[in-house]
Amino acid sequence: MTTERLRHHFYCLALLAVGLHATTAVAQDWPSIRGPQHDGSASWGDKELAQGPLQLKVVWKQPFGSGYSGIVKSGDRLVSAMADVAADQEYVVAMSATTGDMLWKTPTGKVMKGANGSFDGPVSTPAADETQAYHLSPFGILAAYDLTDGSVVWQHDLKKEYSVEPNFYGFGTSPIVHDGVLILPVGSPEGAVMGFDTKTGQVAWQAGQDQAAFQSAVSMELAGETTIVVACNTTLFAIAPATGKVIWSRPHGGASGEPVAAVVPVPLPDGGLFLNDSRDGSTGLNLHADGAAERWSGRKIRNTYCVPVMSGGLLCSYSSRFLVAVDPATGDQAWRTRSPSNGFLATVAGRLVVATLDGSLHVGDVTEDGFHEAAQTQVFKTGETDSEGLMWSLPSIAGRSIYLRSLGAIARIDLHPGQQSETASTEDSKLGPQFAAFIQSLEASDDKQNLIDEYLHGKSLPLIEDEFVHFILQGDYNDVAVASELFGVRQERAMQRVAGTDLFYFGVQVPDATRLSYVFFADYQPVVDPTSDRQFTSGLVAGEMEPIFRKPNSSLQLSWFDKGNLTDDLVIDVDEPNAELLGTIVETQLDSDELKESVGLSIYLPPGYSESAQGAAQKNYPVVFVHDGKHALQNGNQASIVDQSIQEKTIPPVVVVFIDKRFFPMQGAAGYPEFFAKELLPMIDREYRISANRDDRASLSGGFGATLALMATLPVSDQIGVIGCHSPFAFEMLHPMVSQLSKLPNERCQILVQWSRHEFRNPSENWDMGDQARTVSKILANDGHQVTSEGIGTGSDWASWRTQSVRMWQHLLGQ
């Protein structure tokens, strides 16, 4: 027996030993968000399920309202929470575990509307014991419900009674029950964590000082004593469950010390604990009676909503969208895989259970060389415009049943020993008839490489055939995927390999003329198309196609392609910058007291600017301020486009101020409007000959920079009268700010807002910047600004936006 197999064998024996001590109630119930042991595991002593092939059978599936709340089970009752959007009412609901029939539903308040990338409905998962269920509503009502009929036994308004403030998605922590005490992170000034008597609702204890968001406590053995361990926003607490005494506390949040809103502690072997304690990394700890010491830290598990589990002796999780396994002792990665796709984990009889966002269920074995699937089935159906099948809740397991909850249904899936015949659905590649015929001939050929070389010779990639676009990459890789605005951010499509070759391909149907960017992930590393010199540095995505919400280590290099002829009618070349500008660019900087940093400025002066200073009649020029100007220069070719447009007399000569300052939403833009109004505008007025007429003065940018342009310009609209926005990115959390600025008693602006057909979006997370752009346009128009809102047939980022530059610059300069 190999070392790896021996390790797996002993791990299964250990799980069996635990199972021998588990009571029937523990094995058959799932009382809280992470199960009876608070570690996502179930059915430890079921020898028949622990090895060999499995069958998955969907026993029942019932419609259910929207929300993120998971399912808990007590006896034959399943309890969860949902939103009935049509009735504008949320409920705690009990269903029969046997049939799925609804037994009762009790209203908890109005619907928490989805915003900032969330769907409608409650976040908190209930808890249950033998007689009652407990739930925290999004508006802060903590209540106990009789399991028999759903009547309210007791309740507290956390906001009113304990001065607890809601989070950006409402109240969302999930309770657990321990020895008659309901334990909940609340973030009250009176205590970060509170214990409530389950029978009376009276406060049993309050512990620690910190805020809370979407966390849950765990119960575990620490130095021989049962201890409650909970991570609030910035602090990890070890608490005595009977008294609420803080045994010890420790700051968390990685090196940055930033709040972490959704961390749930995961027990590790040998007295360890895992914390997903920062967006960009995680930490393993060794726990002691008087504190905790770091075991390891790193980036092997990062940027994920998944709560890890132990399986096969390894800590399993998603990291970004990839399933990974790490050694719990060292944090070293054992393996990672793209399949199954992104989702949430549990274990049954020691085997890994994967419930994916797109509605499929997978069960299999974890070894040191990978995940070996034993069974899979598609439980819910999803589509580009259908979110009801999306699963955003952790799986629940009791006995041999797995309970899954999507945004539109709840299902029971039973496990049985035996061979599974059904397979999970996968997204098929869509091929044009000519390319499909080539693939068919290639698979039958004895000389595949020559056939590939002959077919691709002289062809540009991606390969476009009528309505079909075929992404193609050749190389000595094991795993290749393609990412693009076609699919959204945090998305990619696995490419198929032709057996016996190094050719990978994926086809998609794109009916309309467009321009789109793309990047390959070859063995999980980003690779631009080696056959194309159409490349640029993205200002929107970094890493694994992640949105740039905060300053990244580096942005992604992307390739781009045209389908159709979007730029054929333009009188200038928007893609090839002039080798020599007729105008000049002056590089300077402004030392800002408002921003407490130096801001780089690249100032374009049009042809003839110096000569026009001679004589009595000096010429003053229109001026355009380009926010996030570095990307506009480097990837948008904006100086070249302006220069060519002046030569072609499609726009008048203009001074352009490119401002090298980015806006990262998670870090804010404190001081930027003041910098712009009090420092930059006076400097440009003082040092350059520009028009004082507000209609000759404009602001421009795209993406998050367009939001920055609105933030800076609307307060000084008496000085600047025109704004241009390519795809303004403004989540709902920014709408009140836009609305407030839009209502200022200043002059109204002329504003052009463009949004893209293939916009910056994530269908799994319910956000689309095209929708946000249209909403921002309505806010501005309703407040009297002259707004033109128009869709364009491309993607996001400057490679696409520059196809609209002629139109945009003519708007900015009143042409």
CA pair distance 676, 729, nearest whole angstrom: 20
Scan for tokens 């309740």, then name that residue.
155
For residues 531 and 601, membership in a common domain is answered with no
Does residue 9 have a pLDDT over 70? no
pLDDT of residue 70: 97
pLDDT of residue 565: 83
pLDDT higher at 537 or 116? 537
Q: What is the dihedral of CA 187, 191, 194, 200, to 10 degrees?
A: -120
Q: Which residue type sits at 463?
A: L
**What does the block give as tokens for 111?**
């619907």
Alpha-carbon separation of residue 531 from 461, 519, 524, 534, 560 (angstroms): 7, 12, 19, 9, 11
Which CATH number does the domain housing residue 589 bear? 3.40.50.1820
For residues 402 and 455, membership in a common domain is answered with no
pLDDT higher at 363 or 14? 363
Alpha-carbon separation of residue 59 from 48, 98, 123, 424, 649 (angstroms): 20, 9, 26, 17, 71
3-state helix, strand, coil in the chain (%, to 5): 20, 40, 40
In terms of Cβ atoms closer than 10 Å to its own Cβ (0-12, 13-18, 19+), residue 783 is middle
Does residue 326 have a pLDDT over 90? yes
For residues 30 and 106, membership in a common domain is answered with yes
pLDDT of residue 200: 97
Does residue 1 have a pLDDT over 70? no
pLDDT higher at 387 or 690? 690
Does residue 426 have a pLDDT over 70? no
Q: Which of 20-34, 177-191, 371-385 reaches the highest mean pLDDT? A: 177-191
Question: How many angstroms separate the first and last alpha carbons of the chain?
Answer: 79
pLDDT digits (tens, 9 = 90+) for 643-674: 999 999 999 999 999 999 998 887 888 999 99
**What does the block give as tokens for 798?**
């400057």
**What does the block give as tokens for 34?**
């992470």
Beta bridge partners, 375, equal: 363
| Mean pLDDT confidence for 381-396 | 81
Does residue 519 have a pLDDT over 90? yes
Question: Would you place residue 115 in the very low, low, confident or very high pLDDT band (cuts 50, 70, 90)?
Answer: confident
124 φψ region: left (φ > 0), alpha (ψ -120 to 50), beta (else): beta
Length of the chain: 815
For residues 547 and 634, membership in a common domain is answered with no
Nearest to 265 by CA among 239, 300, 243: 239
Nearest to 431 by CA among 466, 480, 458, 382: 466
In a domain, 125, yes or no: yes
User: Where is 282: in which H helix or E strand?
Assistant: strand 281-288
Q: Which residue type sits at 512?
A: D
CA pair distance 649, 652, nearest whole angstrom: 6
The neighbour count for residue 709, using CB atoms within 10 Å, is 29
Assess contact for 503 and 782: CB atoms under 8 A: no
For residues 404 and 464, membership in a common domain is answered with no
Which CATH number does the domain housing residue 510 bear? 2.60.40.10
Helices (H), 222-324: none
Does residue 386 have a pLDDT over 90? no
pLDDT of residue 768: 92
623-626 vs 655-660, strand pairing mode: parallel
In a domain, 425, yes or no: no
| Mean pLDDT confidence for 336-349 | 94
Does residue 31 have a pLDDT over 80? yes
For residues 340 and 466, membership in a common domain is answered with no
In a domain, 56, yes or no: yes
In a domain, 568, yes or no: no
For residues 657 and 699, membership in a common domain is answered with yes
Q: Could you give the 3-state DSSP secondary structure of residue 539?
A: strand
Does residue 378 have a pLDDT over 60? yes
pLDDT of residue 580: 87
Which residue, of 384, 417, 450, is where some domain finishes?
Answer: 417
Scan for tokens 């050749």, then name that residue.
474
CA pair distance 72, 53, nearest whole angstrom: 27
Scan for tokens 């999507």, then name that residue.
406
Q: Could you give the 3-state DSSP secondary structure of residue 300?
A: coil
How is the beta sheet containing 218-222 ordered, strand by strand? 218-222, 225-231, 235-239, 246-251
141-146 vs 132-136, strand pairing mode: antiparallel
CA pair distance 218, 617, nearest whole angstrom: 78
Which CATH number does the domain housing residue 257 bear? 2.130.10.10
Q: Which domain holds residue 520?
A: 433-562
Nearest to 403 by CA among 442, 346, 456, 463: 346
**What does the block give as tokens for 349?**
């009889």
pLDDT higher at 416 or 665? 416
| Mean pLDDT confidence for 340-365 | 95
Question: Would you place residue 254 in the very low, low, confident or very high pLDDT band (cuts 50, 70, 90)?
Answer: low
Alpha-carbon separation of residue 222 from 229, 268, 288, 516, 778 (angstroms): 9, 12, 7, 54, 56
CA pair distance 336, 300, nearest whole angstrom: 10
In a domain, 116, yes or no: yes
Does residue 699 have a pLDDT over 60? yes
Q: Which residue type sits at 815?
A: Q
Assess contact for 55 and 418: CB atoms under 8 A: yes
Q: Quick one: CA dihedral 573, 575, 578, 584, positive or negative?
A: positive
Cβ-Cβ contacts under 8 Å for 648 (sequence gap 6 or more): 571, 572
266-268 vs 309-311, strand pairing mode: unpaired
Write out the DSSP string of 72-124.
EEETTEEEEEEEETTTTEEEEEEEETTT--EEEEEEEES-----SS--SS--P
| Mean pLDDT confidence for 497-502 | 94
| Mean pLDDT confidence for 779-798 | 95
In a domain, 604, yes or no: yes
Does residue 434 have a pLDDT over 90? yes
pLDDT higher at 426 or 528? 528
For residues 588 and 558, membership in a common domain is answered with no
For residues 257 and 221, membership in a common domain is answered with yes
Helices (H), 731-815: 735-742, 769-782, 798-801, 805-812
Q: What does the mean pLDDT of the chain come to?
A: 91
Does residue 75 have a pLDDT over 80? yes
Assess contact for 565 and 521: CB atoms under 8 A: no
CA pair distance 127, 217, nearest whole angstrom: 12
pLDDT of residue 566: 80
In a domain, 576, yes or no: no
CA pair distance 305, 117, nearest whole angstrom: 13
For residues 468 and 384, membership in a common domain is answered with no
For residues 392 and 523, membership in a common domain is answered with no
| Mean pLDDT confidence for 42-50 | 88
Does residue 20 have a pLDDT over 50? no
Does residue 436 have a pLDDT over 50? yes
In a domain, 424, yes or no: no
Assess contact for 295 and 272: CB atoms under 8 A: yes
pLDDT of residue 4: 40
Which residue, of 417, 452, 470, is where some domain finishes?
Answer: 417
Nearest to 256 by CA among 564, 551, 653, 620: 551
Which residue, of 388, 417, 446, is where some domain finishes?
Answer: 417
Percent of the chain residues past pLDDT 90, beyond the cut: 80
**What does the block give as tokens for 754?**
């463009």
CA pair distance 183, 180, nearest whole angstrom: 10
Beta bridge partners, 273, equal: 267, 285
CA pair distance 605, 350, nearest whole angstrom: 68
Does residue 12 have a pLDDT over 70? no
CA pair distance 573, 755, nearest whole angstrom: 22
Based on C-alpha coordinates, what's the Rg of the chain? 29
CA pair distance 528, 483, nearest whole angstrom: 11
Out of 230-244, 342-356, 385-399, 411-425, which region has the weakest mean confidence (pLDDT)?
A: 411-425
Assess contact for 31 and 336: CB atoms under 8 A: no
For residues 676 and 550, membership in a common domain is answered with no
CA pair distance 163, 517, nearest whole angstrom: 48
Out of 129-138, 234-243, 377-386, 475-484, which region has the weakest mean confidence (pLDDT)?
A: 377-386
pLDDT digits (tens, 9 = 90+) for 117-142: 889 999 999 999 999 999 999 999 99
pLDDT digits (tens, 9 = 90+) for 723-777: 999 999 998 889 999 999 999 999 999 999 999 999 989 888 889 999 999 999 9
Total count of domains within the chain:
3
